[in-house]
Amino acid sequence: MGKETLICAPFNSTKIDANGKLHHRRDLRLEILDLRERLKESEDIRLRHVVMLREGDHRIKNSLQIVASLMVLQAAREDSASVCDALKGAAARVRSVAVIHDALQGTTGADTVDLGRVLETMCVSLQEMAGDEGRISVVANIQSLRVPVALAQPLALAVNELAVNALRHAFPGRNTGAVQVGLARTGDDVCITVADNGVGVPENYAAGQGYGMKLVAMVIKQIGGDLQMGNEGGTQFIVRAPLGSSLAVKLVTNSQAAIV
C-alpha cells in the first residue's frame, strides 16, 4: 500500500492520500477565530438594531405627548365648554396610548406586560391632569400582575376612560375628592375597579350614553369581559375580564401605591 503524506501549515493542513489526491482541511484554530468574528459582527448588528428601536420608540412617545399638549392648549382657547371637554378627553386618550407604548418598550419579544405598572403610571398622568393634588387625588391600589399584551392594551384604555369621566363629572363645585383605581386577580379573572366618592350618577343613567362609555363597552366586549356599575357613596365601575389558562398570566407581588 502507498504511504500518506501530511503537509502542515499554520492554520491549514493538506493531506496526500495513497492515490496521490490532495485533501485540504482547515485548522480548528482558524475555525474558532472565524466563528468568534462572525458572532461579534452579529452582536454589533443586534445592538445597532436595539438602539434604533429605542430611538424610534422614544420619538413616538414624544410625538404623542406633543399631540396631547397641543390639544390641551387648544382647549384652553375655546369658548365652548363642550368643545373644551372634547379636546381634553381626546388629550387624555392620547396620553393613555403614550403610557401604554412606554410600558411596552421594554417588552420586545415578550408576550406579557405588568399591567399594575401600566396602571400606576397612568394614575400619575391622571393626577397631573386633575391639577392641584390637594383637591382631587388619584389613588392606586394596585396588585402587580403580568397579563398578555393583547389584554393589557384594551384594559388600560378602559381604565383611562372611566377615570377621566370621574375626574370630569364626579366633583362639580367640590374642592376635594378621590378617584381610586384597583387591580387584583380573582380566580381566573382580572378585576379592575374605578371608584370615586363624588356625587354619583342620576337614577336614569345608562352606561354607554357618551362616547367615552361607548368606547369602554366596545373594548371590554372585545376581550370577553363585562362591566358592572354601583352608585353608593359615589360611583363604582368594576371591569372583569377572563385570563384563560392559555394566556399564561403570572402574579408577581402584591403592592399598594398612593398618588396624591
Q: Is 47 exposed, middle or buried (0-12, 13-18, 19+ CB in 10 A)?
A: exposed
Cell of 236: 363604582
Pick from 77-91, 128-142, 160-174: least confident? 128-142
Report the 10 Å Cβ neighbour count for 130. Answer: 21
End-to-end CA distance of the chain: 93
The most confident of 63-67, 83-87, 121-125, 196-200, by mean pLDDT: 196-200
Q: How confident is the model at residue 207 (pLDDT cuts 50, 70, 90)?
A: low
Q: What is the mean pLDDT of the segment spanning 31-58?
A: 81
Q: What is the mean pLDDT of the segment spanning 153-164?
A: 90
Q: Burial code of 8-33, b = ≥16 C-beta within 10 A, e = fewer?
A: eeeeeeeeeeeeeeeeeeeeeeeeee
- The predicted pLDDT at position 245 comes to 39
**Encoded amino acid at 231, one letter:** N
Residue with more model confidence, 17 or 7? 17
Distance CA 193, CA 180 (A): 8
* Class of CATH domain 111-260: alpha beta
Pick from 27-41, 83-97, 99-113, 151-165: least confident? 99-113
Residue with more model confidence, 162 or 22? 162
Question: Model confidence over 52-96: pLDDT tens digits?
Answer: 877 777 788 788 888 888 888 898 888 898 888 888 888 888 887
Distance CA 50, CA 125 (A): 27
Pick from 10-19, 71-80, 120-129, 187-196: least confident? 10-19
Residue 12 has pLDDT above 80, yes or no: no
Say whether pTM exceeds 0.75: no
Q: What is the mean pLDDT of the segment spanning 34-56?
A: 82
Q: What is the mean pLDDT of the segment spanning 148-177?
A: 87
Q: Is the dihedral of CA 119, 259, 95, 195 positive or negative?
A: positive
Residue with more model confidence, 88 or 226? 226
- The predicted pLDDT at position 162 comes to 92
- The predicted pLDDT at position 179 comes to 94
Give percent above pLDDT 70 in the chain: 76
The most confident of 9-13, 126-130, 169-173, 180-184, by mean pLDDT: 180-184
- The predicted pLDDT at position 27 comes to 66
Residue 254 has pLDDT above 50, yes or no: no
Distance CA 190, CA 244 (A): 10
- The predicted pLDDT at position 197 comes to 92
Q: How confident is the model at residue 185 (pLDDT cuts 50, 70, 90)?
A: very high
As a 3-state breakdown, the chain gives helix, strand, coil percent values, each rounded to 5, of 50, 25, 25
Residue 118 has pLDDT above 80, yes or no: yes
